[in-house]
Chain A
């Protein structure tokens, strides 16, 4: 297991990432705050603890891979990558602007560190399978992490991919569901229920790790460690999170799925976060 970093430092990174997300979205005038905010601890735990990666050498062949399958929350990933040293933080404010490397949905190598293009939901776990098969074929130790939204798992391709991951016993895969319970149209439970979510993934052959608080860095780090010990089957962390986490007026509000804060709202958000 990796050496545990100072938790307080990681919490500070998470707070700064949330501040960046709100500033970026306000500046862009559009984007997806809800799912970006709910996934912050997952991303911080990955890039500041779990992943074997090198921000100075993003194409290091033996690195672990992180696939952001829910491409609309790329603002969170951009902010985490910038804090990890992949590119200058000043660039964050170019999000969604013409000519920017920071596209509205993530684009491979734009900037380097973004492993795949995504935005059309449901494709990441299949790509993870291909990467995991390649690593096994080449006898490489790299692990593959893939973050999906809860609503994203409505997509049938996700379940095709689940079958493949289990069939090939891809224990170098750790899937993550950001189970924030909301999608654009309302509560996931009302729109199209995923429950019993954990049982479904178990039935598909996954080592399921229920993460009671996916917005707790310690608990998320524990789960990543646990996933790494599983042999003979892929793992999935079902992270119970709060959509819009960290800003009182965005928490648990599906209206904040895809709307940017205005300047007044940004001011309030920053006061709460600081």
Chain B
């Protein structure tokens, strides 16, 4: 786990949903068994990029998420790998029972392209900000949950999901985020990336919060605190070994996610700390069991306490709690 040079200004920021779309484009060109179903929102989810290349393998289902997942299941039962695309709130909330029975119980090759995750959706407000989806998706047997940190990773995760048996939930965001990985980096499902080594606290983040964690680490470093930064792109199956080893090395953990503090990345990490140990303080940065509201993404990140400064406060608190 060597320190890695992370260059956040190397390229123009890009939304993770664009990375998802690029993954679909690659699959449209290279894998004839991949099909896409879409519950409207086709341009927003970037499913349209697939449609442009392989229109015969694209199926609009209309604003009908339950039917979309059923159709995806039927396609998968006949040998296809189906990507079902809509916003994360609808993918997780409008059709949870269909995801449970028609996808997970049958362990079918349906990959859920859940875009517009988290509060950074912005002005659309609370109805469109998925803040509970990681929790309710990871509770399902056979489901895998990926939250890529940048567009490169989103593209790789999308392509990698096809070679995994069974359903995969890929949560991406609407807003542009700087790159925290490189085009050439490996992506292995269930294997977290240590972006930076550290001794005093381990910051474990997913999605756009990885970028904020790296910024928090700089602030902490100026205070003489050395923070380990882990990009936990796969929430399920979670990389338990890296969590245990981080707890061992630093003695304190902070989790960061653009999601409720209940049941998401924080919950998954706390489960590992409690069950596998060593038991260390865990502070959770996330949305504190409330609904969001309209606003610009940066305003909302600030109001709902998801900024690098909030991560710094949580890190200091976790360190203080060490015995």
Contacts and interface: CB of A to CB of B under 8 A. Distances in A.
Verify that A and B bind, or say they do not.
yes
Interface of A: 61, 65, 107-108, 115-120, 122-135, 137-138, 156-157, 160-161, 163-164, 167-168
Contacts of B98: 123, 126, 157
A132 B70 CA distance: 12
A113 B102 CA distance: 17
Contacts of A157: 64, 66-67, 70, 98
A137 B70 contact: no
Contact of A127 (B61, B70, B97): B70
Contact of B71 (A115, A120, A130, A156): A130
Given A135-B78, A156-B66, A126 B106 contact: no
A209 to B, nearest CB: 22
Given A107-B105, A117-B105, A130 B72 contact: yes
A113 to B, nearest CB: 14
B35 interface: yes
Contacts of B74: 126-134
Nearest to A69: B70
30 contacts: A108-B105, A108-B106, A116-B77, A116-B102, A117-B102, A119-B101, A120-B101, A123-B66, A123-B70, A123-B73, A123-B98, A124-B70, A126-B69, A126-B73, A127-B70, A127-B73, A127-B74, A127-B77, A129-B74, A134-B78, A135-B78, A138-B78, A157-B67, A160-B61, A160-B62, A160-B64, A160-B66, A161-B70, A164-B64, A164-B71
Contact of A126 (B35, B71, B76, B79): B71
A57 to B, nearest CB: 16
B192 to A, nearest CB: 33
B66 A125 contact: no
A145 B49 CA distance: 33
Interface of B: 35, 37, 56-57, 59, 61-62, 64, 66-80, 82, 97-98, 100-102, 105-106
Given A126-B102, A137-B56, A161-B67, 19 more contacts: A65-B77, A108-B105, A108-B106, A116-B102, A116-B106, A125-B70, A126-B73, A126-B74, A129-B67, A129-B70, A130-B74, A130-B75, A130-B82, A131-B74, A134-B77, A137-B35, A137-B80, A157-B64, A160-B67
Contacts of B71: 126-127, 129-130, 133, 161, 164
A133 B37 CA distance: 11
Contacts of B67: 126, 129, 157, 160-161, 163-164
A254 B72 CA distance: 35
Contacts of B37: 130
A160 B95 CA distance: 12
A128 to B, nearest CB: 6
B187 to A, nearest CB: 29
Contact of A163 (B64, B72, B79, B106): B64
B76 A130 contact: yes
A33 B105 CA distance: 25
With most chain A CB atoms within 10 A of its CB, the pick from B74, B75, B76 is: B74
Nearest to B79: A134
Contacts of A160: 61-62, 64, 66-67
A126 to B, nearest CB: 2
A126 B66 contact: yes
Contacts of B106: 108, 116-117
A58 to B, nearest CB: 13
A161 B75 CA distance: 14
Contacts of B82: 130
Contact of A120 (B35, B69, B75, B97): B97
Given A120-B97, A123-B101, A126-B69, A131 B61 contact: no
Contacts of A135: 78
A164 B64 CA distance: 10
Contacts of A163: 62, 64, 67
B111 to A, nearest CB: 14
Contact of A133 (B69, B75, B100): B75
Contacts of B59: 133, 168
Contact of B77 (A107, A122, A131): A131
B91 to A, nearest CB: 15
A137 B73 contact: no
A167 B59 CA distance: 11
Contacts of A118: 101
B64 A137 contact: no
With most chain A CB atoms within 10 A of its CB, the pick from B69, B78, B100 is: B78
A127 B78 contact: no
Contacts of A164: 61-62, 64, 67, 71
A130 B70 contact: yes
Contacts of B97: 120
Nearest to A162: B67
Nearest to A131: B74
A167 B77 CA distance: 21
A130 B73 contact: yes
A126 B105 CA distance: 16
Contacts of A137: 35, 56-57, 80
A17 B74 CA distance: 29
Contacts of B80: 134, 137
Contact of A130 (B77, B100, B101): B77
A130 B105 contact: no
